[in-house]
Amino acid sequence: MRWLAALWLLTVLVTGDAATLQSAEDGVRVTGKRWKVLHVMSYHSPWIWTDDQFNGFKAALKGLDIEYRVFQMDTKRKSSEAWKEKAGREARRLIDSWKPDLVYTTDDNAQQYVTRYYINSGIPFVFSGVNEDPGKYGFVGSSNVTGVLEQEHFVETVRLLKEIVPGVRRIAVIFDDGPTWPGVARRMKAKLDQLPDVEFISWEVIRTFRRYKERISELQREADAVALLGIFTFKDEKGRNVPYTEVLRWTADNSRLPDFSFWKSRIPYGTLCAVTVSGYEQGHAAGRIARGILTEGRSPSSYPMRPTVKGEPVISLARAKRLGLRVKTSVLLASEVIEEFEWEK
């Protein structure tokens, strides 16, 4: 057995540490340390936006020995202030009891109800999918919070829409009353000068599904297209949130107006087009930051808070056909094409 001991000793001498591994695929040196990472998501899973972010985050940390825990705040399906406060308290209790080495938070509600309570604490926080200015949450200048901003591809999406429907001139914008949308509206309005041939005729916050249906019916006569942005917190007659998939299916069945959004998750459910923010890229960028914090001991404050830049054009061919639109082959070849409605599969 002496030769086995000698081989082990040689391995230690070459690597410098018996607990050190080499990941040939990643080309990175990975120590044998085990970390605890808590993921606090504002929304829920399964949902492509949330899942893509977390998958990208974990991919960037591949090769590390990490114990993950996930807390779902579920604030899209349950949007009352009382629920968000409750979910935030439960997430904070988990942080305080489990004491993770790093917390990964996604989307704005997790920042409002969780992360801001730990500014300048000893726990590193990395976020992604944040639409608001980080200054709103007190993150600017903090020692332990950084992450990736979600800034929509507004101008590119409208240009894609006009490639599909060249005659679009008047566009109405619809939001729900969620916290994401004021920041989105500000960024859109700041870029209106890049779309001089388009008039945005209204920017409306709608709170009930009944009013949404009324407004979509009215817009058939007033607009050439609709930006369907906030569609998650519309209430039914009993005060319950109507699922966004139901909102989009009703729209596909009842509206003759081409519509757009900025997120891929809408397209299979009937929205015509988007140049999407990539959830995977958002999460992967956050994961690269987390890797540097965990393995290199870098301070979160050494990473600037900035957006990802990759956009992905996506088109619902099913919706285009229903609207009687003929999409140019060059546009289809440059885009991801969704050929069926989700409910027809």
Which CATH number fits the domain that encloses residue 283?
3.40.50.2300
Q: pLDDT category, 311, cuts 50, 70, 90?
A: confident
For residues 182 and 301, state if they share a domain. Answer: no
Residue 58 lies in a domain: yes
Look at strands 28-30 and 34-41 and give their pairing. unpaired
Q: Are residues 250 and 336 in the same domain?
A: yes
Residue 227 — pLDDT band, cuts 50, 70, 90?
A: very high
Residues 204 and 330 in one domain: yes
**pLDDT(15) > 60:** no
Distance, C-alpha 181 to centroid of its chain: 13
Tell me how far apart the alpha carbons of residues 95 and 307 are, in angstroms, rounded to a whole number. 26
Q: Is residue 7 assigned to a domain?
A: no
Q: Which range is least confidently modeled, 27-36, 277-286, 332-341?
A: 27-36
Q: Is residue 229 part of a domain?
A: yes
DSSP letter assigned to residue 99: -
Answer whether 148's CB lies under 8 Å from 307's CB.
Answer: yes
Does 203 lie in the same domain as 322? yes
Arithmetic mean of pLDDT, 113-121:
98
Which contiguous run of DSSP H or E holds residue 129?
Answer: strand 125-130
User: Six-digit token pair at 23?
Assistant: 């990941």
Task: Please tell me whether residues 190 and 236 are part of one structural domain.
Answer: yes
Q: Is residue 207 part of a domain?
A: yes
Q: Residue 192: its pLDDT value, please?
A: 97
> H/E/C letters for each residue in 21-47?
EEECCCCEEECCCEEEEEEEECCCCCC
Give percent above pLDDT 70 in the chain: 91
Q: What angle do CA 75, 290, 140 make, to 5 degrees?
A: 70
Residue 10 lies in a domain: no
Considering the domain architecture, whether residues 175 and 125 belong to the same structural domain is answered as no
pLDDT of the residue at 31:
52
Instruction: Answer yes or no: are the C-beta atoms of 175 and 333 closer than 8 Å.
Output: no
Question: Token digits for 116?
Answer: 């801001």
Cβ neighbors of 39 (< 8 A, separation 6 or more) are 54, 57, 68, 69, 70, 71, 103, 104, 105, 106
* Residues 143, 61 share a domain: yes
What is d(CA 202, CA 332) in angstroms, rounded to the nearest whole number? 30
Per the prediction, the chain carries an average pLDDT of 90
Question: Structural domain tally of the chain?
Answer: 2
* Residues 47 and 133 grouped into a single domain: yes
Same domain, 245 and 213: yes
User: Mind listing the pLDDT tens digit for each residue in 58-110?
Assistant: 999 999 999 999 999 999 899 899 999 999 999 999 999 999 999 999 999 99
Residue 20: per-residue pLDDT = 28
* CB-based contact 276:311 (threshold 8 Å): yes
Task: Report the pLDDT value the prediction gives residue 123, as an integer from 0 to 100.
Answer: 98
Indicate whether 143 and 182 sit together in one domain: no
- Does the pLDDT at position 28 exceed 50? no
Calculate mean pLDDT across residues 309-316: 90
Cα 116 from Cα 121, distance rounded (Å): 10
Q: Specify the length of the chain in residues.
A: 345
Q: Same domain, yes or no, for 105 and 127? A: yes
Residues 111 and 185 in one domain: no
What DSSP element (H or E) covers 244? helix 244-254
Q: What's the domain range around 264?
A: 154-277+311-344
pTM, 2 dp: 0.72
For 131, the 3-state DSSP assignment is coil
Is 11 a residue whose pLDDT tops 80?
A: no
| pLDDT mean over 169-189 | 94
Ramachandran sector of residue 67 (left: φ over 0; alpha: ψ -120 to 50; beta: rest): beta
**Residue 136, Cα to own-chain centre: how many angstroms?**
18
**Please, which pLDDT band fits residue 10 given cuts at 50, 70 and 90?**
very low
The answer to whether residue 328 is domain-embedded is yes
